[in-house]
Amino acid sequence: MAQVTMFVNGQAMSGGTLNDALHNARFLGRVVTAPKYRFYSVRDEFPGLHPVAEGGTAVPGELYEVEYDVLREELLPREPAELELGVIELADGRGSLSMRMRESALAAADITDISDRGGWLAYLEGIR
């Protein structure tokens, strides 16, 4: 089976509610994105990153090697409608697949910019 890298930064990370969808994936380690993204909380349920031309920040997450069929059949069907599959840049210059905020979702009233909070897990700890 063909495999790709998948960067996750929310509920699919270790211990998250979607991490079981990556049960057959190989954990490659904790990584950060290039500082080219804004990071958002959607209803405090899940995060989303969105590329920006300026004012971006690095977003922490985890990198997995995953088979296409696992991605297609187990992870993607469980992702929220506000997110879409795209390619992001990691801090070391490599590219990876990742879920990103849809442009149309950025204007919703229940979106909070959490770019300066240190990632999804740090943000969740701060609101508890």
Structurally, how many domains does the chain consist of?
A: 1
**Could you tell me which residue, 32 or 128, shows the higher pLDDT?**
32
Q: What is the DSSP string of the chain?
A: --EEEEEE-STTSTTSTTGGGGTTSEEEEEEEB-S-EEEEEETTTEEEEEE-SSS-B--EEEEEEEEHHHIIIIIGGGS-TTEEEEEEEBTTS-EEEEEEE-GGGGG-TTEEE-TTTTSHHHHHHHH-
Beta carbons of 25 and 70 less than 8 angstroms apart: yes
Burial class, 29, CB count within 10 angstroms (exposed 0-12 / middle 13-18 / buried 19+): exposed
**Residue 45 structural domain:** 3-127
Q: Convert the pLDDT of each residue in 5-59 to its tens digit.
A: 999 999 999 999 999 999 889 999 999 999 999 999 999 999 999 999 999 999 9
At 114 the pLDDT is 97
pTM for the predicted model, two decimal places: 0.94
CATH number of 90's domain: 3.10.490.10
Chain segment 58-86, per-residue pLDDT in tens: 999 999 999 999 999 999 999 999 999 99
Tokens (6 digits) for 117: 């909070």
